[in-house]
Chains A and B, each alone.
Chain A
Amino acid sequence: MSAVLQNLVNQPYKHGFVTEIESEIAPKGLNEDTIRLISAKKNEPEWLLDFRLKAYQKWLSMSEPNWQNVHYQKIDFQAISYYAAPKPKKKLASMDEVDPELLRTFEKLGVPMHERAALAGVAVDVVFDSVSVATTYKEKLAEVGIIFCSISEAVQKHPELVRQYLGTVVPVGDNFFAALNSAVFTDGSFCYIPRGVKCPMDLSTYFRINTEGSGQFERTLVIAEEGASVSYLEGCTAPQFDTNQLHAAVVELIALDNADIKYSTVQNWYAGDENGVGGIYNFVTKRGLAKGVNSRISWTQVETGSAITWKYPSCILRGDNSVGEFYSVALTNNLQQADTGTKMIHLGKNTRSTIISKGISAGKSNSSYRGLVRITPNARNARNFSQCDSMLVGDQCGAHTFPYIQVHNNSAKVEHEASTSKIGEDQLFYFAQRGIDSEEAVSMIVNGFCKEVFQQLPMEFAVEATKLLSFKLEGSVG
């Protein structure tokens, strides 16, 4: 059993390469001057600088959390460079003008942008080391009034929207890493769906971390006006580096009356080698506010990369009849650690939430599900269903479950269930009987285990995720 699994586990990172692009890097360290520099470089209005400085002050007064079930060496926040931008070039009008080196990088990652965009009808807003360099399908989206651009562009062109919503779901002092992000975020995506518009295509961004030693602080803001709906995809891969890279992103979603936001993530950042050297620290604050009546926020995530994944995509269900969903697959291998889950805060009447979490641990990794379901006194007839299952591959890994359930009114109905299992010898035997080797059998079993989550992903992502899990676990069962 363990031999095949081991092979699976020992699968080297396929996307490890560094693109040689000249970067403009700010000196290491964080102080007010760094923040002013970022703000000045990005030509930001005064209110945004104030926002950053306020966050910085908050951050200074906060201490790093220590309740998490992940362990890492203390991060020296003064040893990080907070700004790295590809050398400014003239604005690009078409794909042909994009740096061919950059295009080749995406090619290697298996994301032939134009091809993919044309085939799948996906508009890809490419974020490469904090600065957006190309945006496709923008015009098509603009026809229906959708704004989909980098957040720095949005700050310039639609400051009133950004100002109205930025920091309303994740306040600047929300937590240590969110405060840091609010102070130093360099870029990210902005998406605004106007009233009554159903976004005609899936929106997607690719986050990439390049330039060794530069932390990436993405900021994403998605706003769906009354009756609007959007499906947003985010996929991640990163080159192989030895120094740990901190990624502290903040994602805010706001859904007004009858709006619907679906946010999907496939994360496959560099996880470090089999000895746990290197790898990304993925400390992300993701939160959606279902503000209006009948609104819906749905998170789907497939987390396979990063040395440490530590995030809780959450839903605040404020509007009556609003719906929150969380579907997650977290796969950890070697010395990877994951502490992930969700929070469902029920504030409005008749709010409903669903949590499906699947954790797979292999090698010496540890994965935790940590979730909170809170039903406040006014959330009459709230309903929650949670299911978190873990699968252990090998006897040196760990799976942990920390579900917090807090119910403060009697009309609520909350159900939680969790189970832990392994791939049984009898299951493998059954497959062998049918002429399927153990490797393929494991892949099928794992994909079956995660099916409920994959079903939630958009088609092309589901295919990618299935492949990803298969090759991540290749050769770990014998």
Chain B
Amino acid sequence: MNESKNIDYLTCLFKSLPAQSNGSLSQDTLPEDQKLWLKRLRAQAIDKAGQLKWPTVKDEEWRFTDISPLTRLPFKPAKAGHVPGLSETQPLFIEETVNRLVFIDGFFAPELSSIADENQLIIGNLDTLATRHAHTVSTHLGQYVQSQQNLFTALNTAFLHDGAVVVVPQNTVVDQPVHLLFIATQAETTHYPRSLIVGEANSQMTVVEDYVALQADNGAYITNSVAEFKLAANAQIQHIRLQRENVNAFHLANCAVSLDYASRYQAVNVAMGAKISRFNLDISFKEEAAECVIDGLALITDEQLADTHTCIDHLKPNCTSNQQHKCIADGKAHAVFNGKIIVRPNAQKTNSSQSSRNLLLSNEAQIDTKPQLEIFADDVKCAHGATVGQLDKEEVFYLKSRGLSELAARNLLTYAFGAEILNSIPVASLKHTLEQTVLNQTRSC
């Protein structure tokens, strides 16, 4: 790991900052006082990013994921460019949705987006809403994500210029899922997608956060995304996160979730793309009686690396968390999972379970998993489990005895392993698409 190179990379990044800050937000579309808070937020993040070091494999949090290849390429921040036509992007849309926000390389594309429920909820891009709903946006933006120790969230905030904002007002139920589509088109750039999702008291919604590359084989790029979720009392959010970047991409993502009294957060995270991907999910139980259910699936092959770090922090009593993470690694792929559960001293009656199940399809694939428990309260129920293995010979044999070929049997079993996670996706068409993708991927092996 070349230390000086990393410093070079960061210096390079900072040099590009002034150019960025002339982006869409500072085109004086906002009254001075209203964009001040945003400027301050960015300024703080710039300071913070300047103090933080580039993580290396010597850092415990990055032990298995070497991101030094990132520093070898001169990635400039993406600029607003050509917006692809509807014909190219249409296949990516989800048929059930009426609300869709599309971002091309981090820039809002109104011509591809569709906002139907503007009367019912606050939805739109940050640039617009920071003016129209300055108070709501400023109270939430940047409040949940941890940027003290995290270089990438700090960088994302430092380069913040636009993003998706969805606020569901009190007692509102949004029937159709909201689709946030982040499309990458430019090679050799870094883009900084940002999302802020707020569910106010007693609200309900489903949101699909979707990262995708338009061409499967365009060059390398970096996605550094941050998503913040705030659930007020009794709010319910179903969150589906798809990472389908191209195979040359680097995907670094942070997602922070803040849970109030009796709120419920249900997530399905699917990672299939990117050369190196890292997803941090931080969930904080800020009030009692909240619940979260998190399912994850990483399906990777060739020389891909997928790293998932989750931290579920039980700060208050009587909360429930349930996590299941699965990795399917083929080729020379390397899957990493680190699931931390913290039960703080007062968080009595916590009920937490976690399982990490991993399937190795080839002899060169590798898995590093670390389900970690830190418990400081006595009246709790915590359990975790991890398994690593290959397809069961007996099961393959059983299917063969029923007339399936070896390949068909193996594919069916692999598919079934992954489908357990996909089954919890509440959007039918999306579930179907993903199931097809998994089937195709398993078929090729």
Contacts and interface: CB of A to CB of B under 8 A. Distances in A.
A411 B390 contact: yes
23 contacts: A395-B378, A398-B374, A400-B372, A400-B374, A400-B375, A405-B386, A407-B360, A409-B366, A410-B360, A410-B390, A411-B363, A412-B390, A413-B389, A414-B387, A414-B388, A416-B371, A416-B384, A418-B383, A419-B383, A420-B375, A420-B380, A420-B382, A422-B379
Interface stretch (A229-237, A309-317, A386-394): A386-394
B83 interface: no
A111 B251 CA distance: 63
B388 A398 contact: no
A402 interface: yes
A398 B387 contact: no
Contacts of B375: 390, 392, 398-400, 420
B270 interface: no
A418 B340 CA distance: 13
Interface residues of B, number: 35
Given A395-B345, A415-B385, A417-B384, A406 B366 contact: yes
B94 to A, nearest CB: 35
Nearest to A372: B370
B72 interface: no
B369 interface: yes
Interface string B318-351: 0000000000000000000000000001001000
Contact of B371 (A403, A409, A422): A403
Interface in A100-123: none
A78 interface: no
Interface of A: 67, 375, 377, 390, 392-422
A415 B387 contact: yes
B28 interface: no
Contact of A394 (B378, B381, B386): B378
The 3 A-B residue pairs with the shortest CB-CB distance in the complex, in nearest-first order:
A410-B360, A392-B378, A416-B386
B368 interface: yes
Contacts of A411: 363, 390
A318 B225 CA distance: 44
Nearest to A2: B378
B368 A406 contact: yes
A393 B378 contact: yes
Nearest to B377: A395
A396 B377 CA distance: 7
A342 to B, nearest CB: 15
B122 interface: no
B378 to A, nearest CB: 4
Find the residue from B60, B345, B373, B378 having the highest chain A CB count within 10 A.
B378
B362 interface: yes
A419 B382 contact: yes
Nearest to A423: B378
Given A392-B375, A401-B372, A415-B387, 20 more contacts: A377-B364, A392-B380, A396-B345, A397-B376, A397-B378, A398-B374, A398-B375, A400-B373, A402-B370, A403-B370, A403-B371, A409-B363, A410-B365, A413-B390, A414-B387, A416-B371, A417-B384, A420-B373, A422-B378, A422-B379
Nearest to B382: A420
B229 to A, nearest CB: 27
B324 to A, nearest CB: 14
B373 A418 contact: yes
A420 to B, nearest CB: 4
A416 B387 contact: yes
B358 interface: yes
A375 B360 CA distance: 13
A392 to B, nearest CB: 4
A405 B367 contact: yes
Nearest to B378: A392
A414 B389 contact: yes
A218 B334 CA distance: 41
Nearest to A391: B378
Nearest to B374: A400
A405 B361 contact: no
Nearest to A408: B366
A297 to B, nearest CB: 23
**Residue from B364, B371, B381 with most neighbouring chain A CB atoms (10 Å):** B371
Contacts of B348: 395
A395 to B, nearest CB: 5
B365 A403 contact: no
